[in-house]
Amino acid sequence: MTGESAAGLSGRELACMRGGRTVFAKLDFGFAPGELVVLRGPNGAGKSSLLRVLAGLVAPAEGTLAWHGADIADDPAGHRARLQYVGHLDALKANLTAREHLRFHAALREVGARDGEAHHIAHALDVFGLAKLADRPARFLSQGQKRRVALARLCVAPAALWLLDEPTNGLDTEGVACLAAAIADKREGGGIVVAATHLDFPGSQARTLTLSPSQ
Amino acid sequence: MNWQALANPTRFKRLSDRLLPWFAGGAALCLVVGLYLGLVASPPDYQQGDSVRIMYVHVPAAWMAMFVYANLAIAAAASLVWRHPLADVAGRAMAPIGAAFTFLCLATGSLWGKPMWGTWWVWDARLTSVLILLFVYIAYMALNSAFDDDTRGARSSAILALVGAINLPIIKFSVDWWNTLHQPASVSRLDGPSIHASMLTPLLLMAVGFTLLFLALALVRMRAGLIERRLAALSYSRSAEAGVASFR
Amino acid sequence: MNAAFALLRRDLSLALRNVGETLTVLAFFVIAATLFPFGIGPEPQILARVATGIVWVVALLASLLPLERLFQAEADEGGLDQLLLAPAPLEALALAKCAALWIGSAVPLIAVSPIVAAMLQLPSEAFGTLLASLLLGTPSLALLGGIGAALAVGARKGSALLALIVLPLAIPVLIFAVAAVEAQIAGLSVRPHLFLLAGFAVFWLTVAPFAMAAALRQAAS
């Protein structure tokens, strides 16, 4: 694994400590452009922690994380700009509509009217089958519909790296299919997708990174 | 394992083993001699009488209140810049000691105020500033212990300690100004400008004694804090070893 | 900067949709101030003497109320991660949250403060200075409150802890705001006090964004 090319996202000897406890250590990997990597492992194995380390939200206790060979610790802002993260929480405000959430997210990711913001939002709503629900406040949406809005954020701004924490939680079969299509699309464009999930995405050749706490 | 998390605390323990007896012994010696000189051997003040002897505790305590806060701010900066666990432990160890000195300063000031001003509490500029300093210490300790994760508590309270450090001069200035506005000054103060040599010696001895006492207490508390951390880490690692990963 | 303005706009439109929260803060402000005549008696001279202090102390306490949810709500919903991962500097985003807090809760409070001041018999010539002191002093409170709110994200004893953190640091603002109004009543120049209040606002404007960003970063890790 250590001999892999420096293209894409690579980690060397990564370790993560949470609350004085080592969650994982000596983790080596290289994710190439166009790859889907599925994180597996029982609860507490550190899937969410690894995603947060990959996002730069948590600094690794040891080791380095690199993008195309360049250490991301040297350019945290650049790393933030290239990734999109969907956590296990939906990050929705009860009083805002799906469209307002996506519009705010586009602004947050610095996608303006000149970059075709309206087109991106319409596309995102379309991909996740939200067109009819676009103007409904989030408090009137079901759990699965909220999850779709959270995931639709992925499509409103360009990103080379998607980090998804249990993205299929609460989604129905159709929702999973929407997500699978979005992921396939992203991979075709050379994006890297890392997802912690229990489901297999239909029609996807995924690599698996299994984290296991040994007793 | 992180070298910082283990190597330096070990060195710290060896160093503190060697220093602790000197600090503790020196503190005991200075405080005993200082208290004897201050409470027995020195002359009473011609105006304040024996009440002036409170000064030998009050004034060094006021110095310590500020000195410990300065140390706290340095530990806070070290904790934020180098993320060194020893700095986290130091901050947590020092804050209650500083708060105790601050409280001692306020309590002795109040005791002195009763015979001198005829009341337990006067909104004197210095006492008021020390009172606010006590509030900042309390806020620091409350924030430090408000999190399930000790590191988070240490980092959050370190930021507060630094914000407090840059704000304390402003508070001091504001309170001084507020005091001159509201009080027709010229109340006699506990620390007059003219101090006789027979008073200076016990005062300085007490100050050195308090400093050594602070260092000794801080060392003991830091060692206890480090042992606590080790214990927590051990109980974790017994329940679950670090994860291993396979990638295919 | 677009991201910060978008955040400001979003938080303001949320405040508009949850008017109830703002009204609760206003009701607290009015009710708490109304307690003082019961506590110290309704004699106009006594009330007039302490009116400025009451208005300011109660405004300070009222400004604590919305702080607990300022960043904690974002952390609970998951939105804090999105703010942390935005390409824009976190300092600017935190400042935008404070600006929305100030517009959403301090400005309505300033608007009703003349009513409270009149009930407390504040001399009419002092109203202008009271408003000026509130306009210049409350931004410091919002920024200081933002620091407290960011530090307390994820803490166990939320609101009481916030009061412990924020109130001691707010004392200088209180001192000079009240002094400005009293100078006006005494016929003295109010300018130095108001300049100092503006100075405090600038001071916190430079310190608070960095303190908030540092606190929020470590809250996420």
With beta carbons under 8 A apart, name residues in chain C contacting A90: 77-78
CA distance C74 to chain A (A): 8
For position A116, what pLDDT does the model report? 83
Residue among C156, C169, C214 whose CB faces B167 most closely: C169
A24 touches chain B (CB under 8 A): yes
For position C205, what pLDDT does the model report? 97
Contact C99, C91 (CB under 8 A): no
To the nearest 10°, report the CA torsion of B162, B167, B171, B174: 170
**By percentage, how much of chain C surpasses pLDDT 70?**
100
For position A4, what pLDDT does the model report? 47
**By percentage, how much of chain A surpasses pLDDT 70?**
94
Taking residue B87's Cβ as centre, other Cβ atoms within 10 Å add up to: 20
Mean pLDDT of C154-172: 91
For position B183, what pLDDT does the model report? 57
Do the chains contact at C157 and B155, CB–CB below 8 Å?
Answer: no
Tens-digit pLDDT profile for residues C166-181? 999 999 999 999 999 9
The Cα–Cα gap between A42 and A21 comes to: 17
Pairing of strands A70-71, A62-67: antiparallel
Contact B201, B60 (CB under 8 A): no
DSSP state of B40: I
The Cα–Cα gap between A169 and A151 comes to: 11
B240 touches chain A (CB under 8 A): yes
For position C22, what pLDDT does the model report? 93
With beta carbons under 8 A apart, name residues in chain A contacting C96: none
Tens-digit pLDDT profile for residues A131-160? 999 999 999 999 999 999 999 999 999 899
- Does the pLDDT of residue A2 top 50, yes or no? no
Give the mutation candidate from C67, C164, C176 for the B interface (greatest B CB count, under 10 A).
C164
CA distance A27 to chain B (A): 7
Tens-digit pLDDT profile for residues A62-94? 899 999 989 999 999 999 999 999 999 999 999
**By percentage, how much of chain A surpasses pLDDT 90?**
65
DSSP state of B122: -
How confident is the prediction for chain B on average, in pLDDT?
85
The Cα–Cα gap between A172 and A182 comes to: 15
CA distance A98 to chain C (A): 13
User: Whose CA is closest to C169, among A47, A139, B41, B175?
Assistant: B175
For position B66, what pLDDT does the model report? 94
Residue B161's closest chain C neighbor by CA?
C165
- Does the pLDDT of residue C92 top 60, yes or no? yes
For position C128, what pLDDT does the model report? 95
Report the SS3 class of residue A16: strand
For position B244, what pLDDT does the model report? 54
Contact B226, B10 (CB under 8 A): no
Strand-by-strand arrangement of the A36-40 sheet: A70-71, A62-67, A9-18, A21-31, B243-247, A207-213, A36-40, A192-196, A161-165, A83-86
To the nearest 10°, report the CA torsion of C181, C182, C183, C186: 130
Determine the distance from the C-alpha atom of residue A36 to the mean position of all C-alpha atoms in its chain, rounded to a whole number. Answer: 11
Residue B144's closest chain C neighbor by CA?
C155
For position B191, what pLDDT does the model report? 55
Pairing of strands A9-18, A62-67: antiparallel
CA distance B148 to chain A (A): 8
The Cα–Cα gap between C93 and B196 comes to: 58
For position C13, what pLDDT does the model report? 95
The Cα–Cα gap between C141 and C170 comes to: 7
Mean pLDDT of C76-81: 94
CA distance C219 to chain A (A): 10
C18 touches chain A (CB under 8 A): yes
For position C221, what pLDDT does the model report? 75
Does residue B43 or residue C85 have the better pLDDT? C85
pLDDT band at C27 (very low <50, low <70, confident <90, very high): very high
Contacts (Cβ under 8 Å, ≥6 apart) of C125: C184, C185
Q: What domains are there in chain A, each with its CATH number?
A: 1-82+162-215 (3.40.50.300), 96-159 (no CATH)
Contact C220, C84 (CB under 8 A): yes
Residue B173's closest chain C neighbor by CA?
C172
Do the chains contact at B181 and C179, CB–CB below 8 Å?
Answer: yes
Residue among B155, B160, B175 whose CB faces C218 most closely: B155
B77 touches chain C (CB under 8 A): no
Pairing of strands A161-165, A83-86: parallel
For position B248, what pLDDT does the model report? 53
Tens-digit pLDDT profile for residues A56-66? 999 898 899 99
Low-confidence residues in chain B, pLDDT < 70: 1-8, 182-196, 236-248
Determine the straight-line distance between the first and last CA of chain C, rounded to whole angstroms: 25
For position B238, what pLDDT does the model report? 58
With beta carbons under 8 A apart, name residues in chain C contacting B174: 171-172, 175-176
Asked if the interface predicted TM-score (ipTM) of this complex is over 0.85, the answer is yes
Residues 130 to 169 of C: which have CB under 8 A from any B CB? 147, 151-152, 154-157, 161, 164-165, 167-169
DSSP state of B241: P
For position C141, what pLDDT does the model report? 97
Taking residue C41's Cβ as centre, other Cβ atoms within 10 Å add up to: 9
CA distance C112 to chain B (A): 27
Mean pLDDT of C133-152: 97
Number of CB pairs < 8 Å for A and B? Answer: 67
Mean pLDDT of A179-199: 91
